[in-house]
Structure formats: C-alpha cells, structure tokens
Amino acid sequence: MTHDPIPTTTIRDDYIELYKVLKRENMAESGGQAKYMISEGLVLVNGEVETRKRKKTVPGDIIECNNERVQVVARKN
C-alpha cells in the first residue's frame, strides 16, 4: 500500500510559529482563525493535539487540520 506524499512548506529560519503555518498554507483564512482553531484543539502536530498558538514548528514536523496535512521542511542552501 502506498501513501500520497505529504505536501511541504519550506522555511528559511530554524522554526515557524504554528498559526503562521496554517495561514500560509491556507488551512485557515486568517491569523485570527488559525489561532482560534489551535485554541479549540482542532490542530495536530506530529499526531498530538497542540493548543499553543505560537508553538515553534521545526523541519520534520507534520501539521494536520481539517483533513489536510503539511510537513515543515528546511530551505536547501
């Protein structure tokens, strides 16, 4: 059984705050909506519910929300 590859979002810094990933990847319509979704426990990071809006997500982390997934990856130099 094969799985579809997980879409990625590339970051240039060491981390990106969780709510910014949701907004950037159009998983939320706005930063405010992203923060609300996180505070309500609707977002998973690496399979665990995450309620910290400003959680620092790092390369390798997988974010899930509304049946969508995205993996954080580092920009290659």
Parse the chain into domains and list their residue ranges: 8-74
Smallest CA-to-CA distance from 19 within 54, 46, 48, 69 is with 54
Quote the mean pLDDT of the chain: 94
Of 33, 69, 70, which is closest to residue 53 (Cα–Cα)?
A: 33
| pTM of this prediction exceeds 0.75 | yes
Q: Residue 37 is encoded by which pair of tokens?
A: 């979704």
Residue 66 has pLDDT above 70, yes or no: yes
| Residues 8-74, CATH architecture | Roll (3.10)
Res. 1: pLDDT tops 60: no
Instruction: Identify the band that residue 22 occupies on the pLDDT scale cut at 50, 70 and 90.
Output: very high
